[in-house]
């Protein structure tokens, strides 16, 4: 079977898989697209499709990419590794010239300081202790969904105000 035809016929199943694996996370669509690109880059993908194992293969890519803390997907989309106290390491503060300005970094810190105490502390622990959302949830005993919603709300707040 042609690989493009296989993707067309199995797209809905792959989409449902990405939603389940990610726990209906906002990155479910990104996970699906990442998986499709990964599969298309494999030299032997046609053999995998012909053998009937492509759906299983796609699901394994999704699971490994979303759950592994060493996967490129994880490092690119899920991990927040910037230390807020080091103003030179905040990548989303780059201006058009790709120069990070101290003024914008201080504005980001001020925006964080204006948030409720709980939000500030959760975000600072996440960043300063190099946690993932899941590891922060485990260490604080706060439900993962609550941690995720709070962190995403903080990030959107800071980005929208900069």
Q: How confident is the model at residue 83 (pLDDT cuts 50, 70, 90)?
A: very low
pLDDT for residue 84 is more than 60 = no
How far from the centroid of its chain's Cα atoms is residue 25's Cα? Answer: 9
- Of 52-56, 83-87, 134-138, the range with the lowest mean pLDDT is 83-87
pLDDT for residue 97 is more than 50 = no
pLDDT for residue 58 is more than 80 = yes
3-state secondary structure of 105: helix
Entry pTM: 0.49
Q: Could you confirm whether domain 80-161 is CATH 1.10.10?
A: yes
Percent of the chain at pLDDT above 90? 6
The predicted pLDDT at position 67 comes to 84
How far from the centroid of its chain's Cα atoms is residue 45's Cα? Answer: 25
How far apart CA 10 and CA 12 sit, in angstroms, is 6
- Of 51-55, 83-87, 101-105, the range with the lowest mean pLDDT is 83-87
How far apart CA 113 and CA 60 sit, in angstroms, is 41
- Contact between 49 and 6 (Cβ < 8 Å): yes
For 32-41, b where at least 16 C-beta lie within 10 A, e where not — what string?
Answer: bebbbebbee
Residue, of 103 and 35, whose pLDDT is higher: 35
- Contact between 21 and 30 (Cβ < 8 Å): no
């Amino acid at each position: 079977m042609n690989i493009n035809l296989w993707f067309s016929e199995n797209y809905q199943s792959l989409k449902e898989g990405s939603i389940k694996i990610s726990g209906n996370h906002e990155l479910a669509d990104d996970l699906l697209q990442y998986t499709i690109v990964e599969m298309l880059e494999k030299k032997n993908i046609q053999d995998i499709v012909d053998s009937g194992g492509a759906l299983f293969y796609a699901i394994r890519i999704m699971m490994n990419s979303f759950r592994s803390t060493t996967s490129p997907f994880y490092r690119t989309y899920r991990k927040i590794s910037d230390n807020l106290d080091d103003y030179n390491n905040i990548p989303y503060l780059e201006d058009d010239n790709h120069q990070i300005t101290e003024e914008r970094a201080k504005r980001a810190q001020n925006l964080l300081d204006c948030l409720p105490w709980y939000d500030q502390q959760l975000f600072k622990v996440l960043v300063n202790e190099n946690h993932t959302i899941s590891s922060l949830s485990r260490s604080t005993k706060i439900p993962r969904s609550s941690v995720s919603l709070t962190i995403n709300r903080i990030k959107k707040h800071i980005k929208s105000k900069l």
